[in-house]
């Protein structure tokens, strides 16, 4: 029984010898291989994560030390800083572009671009995506969108000044915002990104539906694949709405249309409805894949089957469905009909139910498990705890009466960062470490990884938890200089504390960057199954060859058979492992008449 | 159900797989894409409805600004192209790869894939051309995305009869008209370009067969969708 634990599926995976050798350009740059595309997304979106982080540091400098010259600010042009001091116009641009980069070009491509591409075919036993060339186009369009967005820093008057949400009429009227080219570039970039996202998502959906290996039934799919699949459905339906809205905003700016300009009969509130009709499903695009991958990692780290697999699947579906009918909770204070606000309040509070199911299931999985605190597991536990705090503060704001004083304060900033940084980014640290061997054939350094986790966890909480307090104290979300108001002055020491913590948090990420880059070349060689996991991807060598399996593998069981008695002296039983009692799955009958 | 027999039939999955959607992946992918396109047009049409109902004044009367008879003819042209698309699809399903072939005892020749797809392309291109002419004329009369141009013919009409011409909301009218019909025209153009590409790379070299006509079926789905969107747009933009 011990030897079979390392057996490969029938036919084995000895590299894809039947593929002709490819040039460097075809193999690594214009690649149609889903794994290479995932890695391309990884490098590009980590770069944009760094850009977004640098913008955040400047925001924190201004809030902690308003009126003091920004260190190194001398290199910025006079239109951004005056005597080294950040100008108000530049400050709002920092806030707007930090949000834009982090949401659209860092977290979303990290979760969906990287892991949907990399994991879906590997985990369902497919040879590649359904449409490899569309997949490649999706990456290049995403990069193009990122470059267009970056270019807006270098045009006259700089990037957008209306926040990442681009509320009209400020964003629709260049004479009000003072931004012309930057606003156009934002809209164009978003339209291109939407196209990229739709192309990616239709690939993921088609692949999951039509390309599962024999035996990989719907309820044998790992939760990561379930989450990425549902996320792709959200992406396909949500992004086009944002594209439509961005096109209308673009036309308002360049063609003189009046969609969002109340002075000419348009409706400013229409923009908010369109934006948040996209924006709330987007929130779940940013968290569901993280939840899915964390589920895989927690089951592995606990050496137990995931607690309540089916309820986890239906919770994902439930969250995704409810995500479509809650967008109004972003607009309680917009002047929207208050009765409608109550409806949105109820539907929003309902989301707490599937979210709580997931949190309790993660705890149930860990309960009395044979815990292995490897770096992915630590980060996954970080995800669960931070997401819980972020989810609970979400319930505060979902209640309309509580939202009235809290809206547009730093409390909201704390909430979004607890779910997006404490949630998604911790999950990403876990996922990057976990699937790093599959990507690069080496393991990231365990010691640095643990140090990075603990320091990040501490400084992260020191940065974002006090924001709840200053938010309740009334500090506005995008205010340029909090010290101009007497009632905010007593809170200024806390702002200074947050800023120092944020700088430390940023500095700690150097550990991660070092570990990531250093391990590419000097990391320990990864064994075939470094985490003793059950997933289909571990039946392949590290890194996996082009085309994945030479012969389509068979799947014999669900993904979470840890500590199963049949596994003998191993505590895991991979999906691809054929026991003497297992029968080969029968492939699907071909569709009748096509 | 071995690999060898599957390689012969491109419309089936290349590898053994679990039961999926029951259709080949290209078709499923097109269905998913059309779902996303539905959402795109929903954003535009939904905004139009919200803007029109919430507008401070009455919309222009049907036919006051727009040339309804011309567009009705154009609509008919687009519907005809959908019919010819169906004929092209049926032709290749029956293995008719040819252009035209005489039928004994019948006056008309029998059209094959090459004929019916060409008809579809011509109808589609004709639709876009008529739309371009319509745009040029409208802008010439002073109807722009920003409303009625100062000093233009339509601006004078609107000053004389503000109710009929919807003078107070001309800006919204122009905004939504040009955006919705423009993006529909863009979709038709994309369809015609795709069909032209298929025509030269696949249809003329006779690469489609009754066993594999994926490109024709997939572009057909797209084409019927674009046609359907136009019927909605024609109704709510021109007739109401």
Complete DSSP assignment for B158-217: HHH-TTTTTGGGHHHHHHHHHHHHHHHHHHHHHHHHHHHHHIIIIITTT--BTTB-HHHH
- At A569, the pLDDT band (50, 70, 90 cuts) reads confident
**Is the pLDDT reported for residue A224 higher than 50?**
yes
Max CA distance (Å), chain B: 77
| DSSP line for A468-522 | HHHHHTT-BTT-S-GGGSGGGGGGHHHHHHHHHHHHHHHHHHHHHHHHHHHHHHH
Q: Identify all chain B residues contacting A264, using CB atoms and an 8 Å cutoff.
A: 147, 171-172
Residue A572 maps to a domain: no
**Is the pLDDT reported for residue A114 higher than 80?**
yes
**Is the pLDDT reported for residue A436 higher than 90?**
yes
Exposed, middle or buried by CB within 10 Å (0-12, 13-18, 19+), for B108? exposed
Q: Identify all chain B residues contacting A238, using CB atoms and an 8 Å cutoff.
A: 39
The number of angstroms, rounded, from the C-alpha of B145 to the middle of its chain's C-alpha atoms is 22
CA A114-A117-A118 angle, to 5 degrees, is 75
- As a whole number of angstroms, the distance between CA A562 and CA A560 comes to 6
**Is the pLDDT reported for residue A593 higher than 60?**
no
What is the arithmetic mean of pLDDT over A22-31? 80
Percent of chain A with pLDDT over 70: 95
Number of Cβ pairs < 8 A linking chain A and chain B: 168
Q: Is A264 on the interface with B (CB under 8 A)?
A: yes
Look up tokens 């996303």; give the residue. Answer: B36
What is the arithmetic mean of pLDDT over A29-54? 94
| DSSP line for A177-243 | H--SHHHHHHHHHHHHHHHHHHHHHHHHHHHHHH-PPTT--GGGS-HHHHHHHHHHHHHHHHHHHHH
- As a whole number of angstroms, the distance between CA A494 and CA A569 comes to 54
CB A433 within 8 A of CB A444: yes
CB A119 within 8 A of CB A207: no
- Number of alpha carbons in the 13 Å side-chain half-sphere of residue B174: 28
- At B22, the pLDDT band (50, 70, 90 cuts) reads confident
Q: Which of A118, A212, A210 is nearest to A554 (CA)?
A: A212
CB A295 within 8 A of CB A362: yes
Averaged pLDDT score across all residues of chain A: 91
CB A471 within 8 A of CB A479: no
Shortest CA distance from A233: residue in chain B:
B32
Averaged pLDDT score across all residues of chain B: 91
Q: Identify all chain B residues contacting A215, using CB atoms and an 8 Å cutoff.
A: 18
* CA dihedral sign, ordered A590, A594, B5, B6: negative
Q: Is B199 on the interface with A (CB under 8 A)?
A: no
Q: What ipTM was assigned to the predicted interfaces of this complex?
A: 0.92
Residue A12 maps to a domain: no
Residue A2 maps to a domain: no
List the single best residue of A257, A584, A593 to mutate versus B (max B Cβ within 10 A). Answer: A257
Residue A17 maps to a domain: no
**Is the pLDDT reported for residue A287 higher than 60?**
yes
> Which residues are paired to A442 by β-bridges?
A525
Helix (H, G, I), strand (E, B) or coil at A553: coil
The CATH number covering residue A66 comes to: 1.20.210.10
CB A432 within 8 A of CB A395: no
Residue A309 maps to a domain: yes
CB A591 within 8 A of CB B23: yes
Radius of gyration of chain B (CA): 22
Q: Is A594 on the interface with B (CB under 8 A)?
A: yes
Count of structural domains within chain A: 1
pLDDT at A387: 95
- As a whole number of angstroms, the distance between CA A410 and CA B99 comes to 69
pLDDT digits 0-9 by tens, B41-100? 999 999 999 999 988 888 999 889 999 999 999 999 999 999 999 999 999 999 999 899
What is the arithmetic mean of pLDDT over B142-146? 93
Residue A1 maps to a domain: no
Q: Which of A496, A426, A509, A425 is nearest to A462 (CA)?
A: A496
Q: How many residues does chain A have?
A: 594
Look up tokens 């309309």; give the residue. Answer: A400
Look up tokens 């109004």; give the residue. Answer: A328
Identify the DSSP state of A323.
G
pTM assigned to the model: 0.93
Exposed, middle or buried by CB within 10 Å (0-12, 13-18, 19+), for A153? middle
What is the arithmetic mean of pLDDT over A282-293? 96
For residue B17, give the nearest of A211, A273, A274 by CB distance: A211
The domain containing residue A42 runs over which residues?
30-567
pLDDT digits 0-9 by tens, A506-546? 999 999 999 999 999 999 999 999 999 999 999 999 899 98
CB A165 within 8 A of CB A93: no
Q: Which of A61, A140, A158 is nearest to A100 (CA)?
A: A158
Residue A21 maps to a domain: no
CB B180 within 8 A of CB B45: yes
Sequence-separated (6 or more) residues with CB below 8 Å from residue B146: A255, A256, A257, A258, B171, B174, B175
The number of angstroms, rounded, from the C-alpha of A218 to the middle of its chain's C-alpha atoms is 24
Residue A215 maps to a domain: yes
Residue A212 and residue B17: Cβ atoms within 8 Å? yes
């Amino acid at each position: 029984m011990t030897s079979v634990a390392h057996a490969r599926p029938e036919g084995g995976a000895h590299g894809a010898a039947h593929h002709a050798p490819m040039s460097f350009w075809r193999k690594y740059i214009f690649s149609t291989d889903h794994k290479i595309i995932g890695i391309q997304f990884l490098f590009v979106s980590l770069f944009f994560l760094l850009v977004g982080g640098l913008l955040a540091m400047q925001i924190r400098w201004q809030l902690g030390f308003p009126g003091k010259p920004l260190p190194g600010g001398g290199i910025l042009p006079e239109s951004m800083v005056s005597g080294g001091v950040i100008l108000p116009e530049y400050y709002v641009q920092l806030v707007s572009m930090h949000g834009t980069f982090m949401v659209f070009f860092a977290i979303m491509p990290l979760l969906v671009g990287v892991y949907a591409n990399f994991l879906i075919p590997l985990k369902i036993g497919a040879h590649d995506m359904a449409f490899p060339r569309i997949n490649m186009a999706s990456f290049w369009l995403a990069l193009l969108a990122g470059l267009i967005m970056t270019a807006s820093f270098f045009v006259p008057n700089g990037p957008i000044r209306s926040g990442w949400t681009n509320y009209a009429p400020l964003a629709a009227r260049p004479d009000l915002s003072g931004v012309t080219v930057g606003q156009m570039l934002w809209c164009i970039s978003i339209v291109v990104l939407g196209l990229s996202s739709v192309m990616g998502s239709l690939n993921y959906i088609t692949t999951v539906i039509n390309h599962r290996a024999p035996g990989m039934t719907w309820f044998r799919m790992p939760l990561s694949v379930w989450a990425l699949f549902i996320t792709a459905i959200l992406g396909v339906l949500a992004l086009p709405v944002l594209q439509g809205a961005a096109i209308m905003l673009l036309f308002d700016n360049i063609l003189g249309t009046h969609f969002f300009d109340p002075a000419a009969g348009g409706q400013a509130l229409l923009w908010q409805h369109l934006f948040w009709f996209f924006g709330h499903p987007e929130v779940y695009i940013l968290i569901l894949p993280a939840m899915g991958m964390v589920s895989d990692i927690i089951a592995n780290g606990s050496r137990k089957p995931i607690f309540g697999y089916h309820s986890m699947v239906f919770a994902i579906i439930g969250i995704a469905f409810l995500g479509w009918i809650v967008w109004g909770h972003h607009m309680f204070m917009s002047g929207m009909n208050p009765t409608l606000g109550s409806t949105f309040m109820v539907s929003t509070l309902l989301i707490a139910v599937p979210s709580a199911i997931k949190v309790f299931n993660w705890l149930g999985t860990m309960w009395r498990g044979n815990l292995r605190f490897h770096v992915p597991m630590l980060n996954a536990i970080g995800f669960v705890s931070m997401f819980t705090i972020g989810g609970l503060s979400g319930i505060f704001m979902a209640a309309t009466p509580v939202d009235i004083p809290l809206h547009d304060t730093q409390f909201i900033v704390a909430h979004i960062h607890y779910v997006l940084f404490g949630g998604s980014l911790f999950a990403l640290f876990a996922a990057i470490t976990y699937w790093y061997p599959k990507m690069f054939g080496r393991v990231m350094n365990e010691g640095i990884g643990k140090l990075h986790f603990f320091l990040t966890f501490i400084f992260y909480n020191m940065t974002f938890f006090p924001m709840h307090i200053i938010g309740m104290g009334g500090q506005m979300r995008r205010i340029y200089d909090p010290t101009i108001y007497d009632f905010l002055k007593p809170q200024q020491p806390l702002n200074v504390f947050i800023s120092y913590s944020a700088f430390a948090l940023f500095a700690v990420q150097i550990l991660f960057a070092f570990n990531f880059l250093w391990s590419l070349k000097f990391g320990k060689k990864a064994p075939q199954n470094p985490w003793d996991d059950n997933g289909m991807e571990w039946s392949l060598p590290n890194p996996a060859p082009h085309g994945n399996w030479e012969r389509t593998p068979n799947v014999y069981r669900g993904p979470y058979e840890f500590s199963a008695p049949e596994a003998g002296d191993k505590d895991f039983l991979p999906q691809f492992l054929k026991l003497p009692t297992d029968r080969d799955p029968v492939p699907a009958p071909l569709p009748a008449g096509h | 159900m071995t690999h060898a027999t599957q390689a012969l039939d491109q419309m089936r999955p290349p590898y053994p797989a679990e039961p999926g959607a029951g259709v080949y992946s290209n078709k499923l992918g097109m269905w998913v894409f059309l779902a996303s396109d539905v959402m795109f047009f929903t954003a535009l049409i939904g905004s139009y409805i919200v803007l029109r109902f919430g507008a401070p004044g009455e919309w222009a009367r049907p036919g006051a600004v727009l040339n309804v008879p011309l567009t009705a003819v154009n609509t008919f042209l687009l519907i005809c192209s959908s019919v010819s698309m169906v004929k092209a699809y049926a032709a290749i399903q029956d293995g008719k790869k040819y252009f035209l072939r005489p039928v004994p005892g019948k006056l008309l020749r029998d059209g094959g894939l090459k004929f019916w797809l060409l008809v579809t392309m011509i109808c589609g291109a004709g639709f876009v051309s008529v739309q371009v002419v319509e745009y040029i004329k409208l802008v010439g009369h002073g109807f722009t995305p920003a409303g009625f141009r100062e000093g233009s013919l339509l601006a004078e009409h609107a000053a004389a009869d503000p109710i009929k011409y919807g003078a107070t909301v001309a800006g919204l009218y122009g905004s939504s008209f040009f955006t919705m019909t423009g993006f529909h025209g863009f979709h038709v153009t994309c369809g015609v370009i795709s069909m032209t590409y298929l025509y030269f790379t696949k249809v003329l070299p006779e690469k489609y067969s009754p066993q594999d006509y994926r490109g024709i079926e997939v572009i057909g789905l797209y084409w019927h969708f674009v046609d359907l969107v136009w019927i909605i747009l024609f109704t709510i933009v021109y007739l109401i």
